[in-house]
Amino acid sequence: MITRLIIADDHPVIRAGLRAILERQGQYRIAAEVDSPESLAFALERTPADLLITDFAMPSTVSPDGHAMLSMIRRRYPALPIALFTMFNNIPSLRMAMQIGVRAIIDKAAPMDRIPEALREVSAGTTYISQTLRRSMHADMPGLPTAGAALSPKEMEVIRLYISGYSVTQIAAKLGRTISTISRQRTMGMEKLGLRTDAELFAYAYEHGLAPAPRLPMATAVAHLQLPAHVHVENVTFCSACELNLDV
């Protein structure tokens, strides 16, 4: 039986690598490739899929990513299995993703030949967590990463977006909340973490995995390709930059 997949990642190299590995298995058909939360929403509406493999963080000024994106997908498509393929390694946040309904968490730092195994587990109705994260995800022992554990889901999402470079105003527009609400959630989150300045927040976030470190090598590697931010779904192309549907 052929499994129809949607791949969501903002890096063309990652999408190409996933496609190459999965198509070699002979049991997967890539129904759509997308590079942003809004193009993912478009693809999910337009094409049937049996499984979604998506990054956690896909920058966008239009739609939220992270937990808000995963929650939206779970509400609209409750039967769709989701595999998270990510460099994001904050354990409380990943546990929260599992509570939302993610079936697999695949570490991008792990060997890519493990991906078919992970997707087989998901298709079989079980869960999969990469070996690099498994002990921390399941164990309850002193010394395991707990950064962000005291934050509420909304505070964690605001902090993650803020240290990713979004302003308070942009976060408010992205999450559909008021500026005062976002400002309050950022302040409360910082107070819970014992942080007073933005500099302390950025240092703490990267040190404890509340957000992935900047991925400059990959960005540099693909910059010369100058690929358009398009999603291809069957015979339709959607441009996430201009929000137009282009028949091909």
Neighbouring-strand partners of residue 44: none
Phi, psi for residue 187 in degrees, rounded to 5: -65, -45
Read off the pLDDT of residues 139-178 as tens digits, 9 standing for 90 and up: 543 333 344 456 777 888 888 788 878 889 988 888 888 9
Partners of 33 in the beta sheet? 7, 232
Query: Six-digit token pair at 2?
Result: 């052929």
Name the most confidently modeled range: 12-16, 156-160, 211-215.
Answer: 12-16
Burial code of 79-99, b = ≥16 C-beta within 10 A, e = fewer?
ebbbbbbbbbbbbbbbbbbee
d(CA 37, CA 106): 19
Return the number of other C-beta atoms located less than 10 Å from residue 108's C-beta. 19
Compute, in degrees rounded to 10, the torsion defined by CA atoms 221, 83, 109, 215: 40
DSSP β-ladder status, 230-233 and 28-34 = antiparallel
pTM: 0.61
Which of 5-19, 120-134, 162-176, 225-239 is predicted least confidently? 225-239
| Higher-scoring residue by pLDDT: 108, 216 | 108
Q: DSSP 3-state assignment of 236?
A: strand
